[in-house]
Amino acid sequence: MDNPWIAALVALFVWWFATGAILWAVKRADRGGPDAHLYTLLLSLPLLFFGVVALTATLDGSGPREVYLGFLSALAIWGWIEISFLAGIVTGPNRSECPPGLPLRARFAHAWGIVAYHEVLLTAALALIVWLSREAANTVALWTFVVLYLARISAKLNLFLGVPRINVEFLPLPLSHVPSHFRIARLNWLFPVSVTVLSLATSCWLERLHSTGEARFALLAALTGLALLEHWLMVLPLPDQKLWRWMIPAPRPDDEMLTREKTHGL
């Protein structure tokens, strides 16, 4: 498991499988009753429990086992928080579509109201992991969460400011109002900054990997590279949704109509 290629493949597989599993769970809940999304979140609590236990158990170790478990623990905590958002349980005080014609500052305030509680929860989780890792020998979980946190903020801001391609095919019904806050545009000022920072971060992890040969840097380099890829998929005309479509239940006709109506947002 010290092999960097194995570590990179593990990161790629976990990214693909975990994303598909979360999408499958929340889209399946769309077909349930009014409490189906809440039950989905409650049934996924073992994921959060595993993440917290694995994180605390691996802080003092630096072997391959601790490295991989630290990586998976951060992904588990992150995944449960993402489920809470996609299920529409932990979102924000605003549950309505963005009114048309709002100036940028007012549109940002409205968009913040859509995700406020979710962002606070992510920030609290990050702060807790930073505190737990302050004297730890194994900081893989910390850096994994940092990469996810910063990449997600960057992605959300780019969607808000405007990008050429916005895929809302897999958005669950509780978030059907979210695309109204997106903007389709040729490009925005933040996108070049985002891809440059992510490229530099990937290069830094690769340099550390080349210098040390340690699997932890392969995991972080692969994860950061995937975040960079997700940013480029906002621009490049590639059918990225095919990676997970086979895992998602076929949409009902009314779901397809709802998605088509909200695809272009502003």
- pLDDT tens digits for range 51-77: 999 999 999 988 999 999 999 999 999
- Give the residue-averaged pLDDT of 114-121: 97
- Cα distance between residue 59 and residue 221, in whole Å: 20
Instruction: Say if CB 22 and CB 82 are below 8 A apart.
Output: yes
Higher pLDDT, 30 or 262: 30
pLDDT of residue 263: 31
List pLDDT tens digits, range 96-117.
999 998 999 999 999 999 999 9
Confidence band, pLDDT 50/70/90 cuts, at residue 19: very high
pLDDT tens digits, 126-178 = 999 999 999 999 999 999 999 999 999 999 999 999 999 998 888 999 999 99
Contact in structure between 118 and 84 (CB atoms under 8 Å): yes
| Mean pLDDT score, 212-239 | 95
Is residue 233 pLDDT above 50, yes or no?
A: yes
- The predicted model gives 220-236 an average pLDDT of 96
Work out the pLDDT band at 259, boundaries 50, 70, 90: very low
Q: Which two tokens stand for residue 190?
A: 């933040």
- In the prediction, which pLDDT does 266 show? 26
Residue 187 CA, distance from chain mean position: 21
Q: Which of 181, 183, 180, 197 is nearest to 231 (CA)?
A: 197
Q: Which of 124, 127, 115 is nearest to 156 (CA)?
A: 115
Task: Give the pLDDT score at 164.
Answer: 96
Cβ burial, residue 252 (10 Å; 0-12/13-18/19+): exposed
* pLDDT band with cut points at 50, 70 and 90 for residue 265: very low
Dihedral Cα 117, 241, 197, 17, nearest 10 deg: 70
Cβ contacts of 168 within 8 Å, gap of 6 or more? 178, 179, 182, 259, 262, 263
Contact 63, 205 (CB under 8 A): no
d(CA 255, CA 31): 10
CA angle 4, 206, 239 (to 5 degrees): 85
**Pairwise pLDDT comparison (2 vs 216), residue with the higher score:** 216
Is 256 a residue whose pLDDT tops 50?
Answer: no
pTM confidence score? 0.92
For residue 217, which of 230, 227, 208 has the smallest C-alpha distance?
208
Checking if the pLDDT of 20 tops 90, the result is yes
CB atoms under 10 Å from CB of 229, counted, come to 14
pLDDT value at position 261? 37
- SS3 for 184? strand
Coil, helix or strand for 240?
coil
pLDDT tens, position by position, 174-212: 999 999 999 999 989 999 999 999 999 999 999 999 999
Q: What pLDDT shows up at residue 174? A: 94
C-alpha 47/C-alpha 79 separation (Å) is 8
The candidate with the shortest Cα–Cα distance to 172, out of 66, 6, 31, is: 31
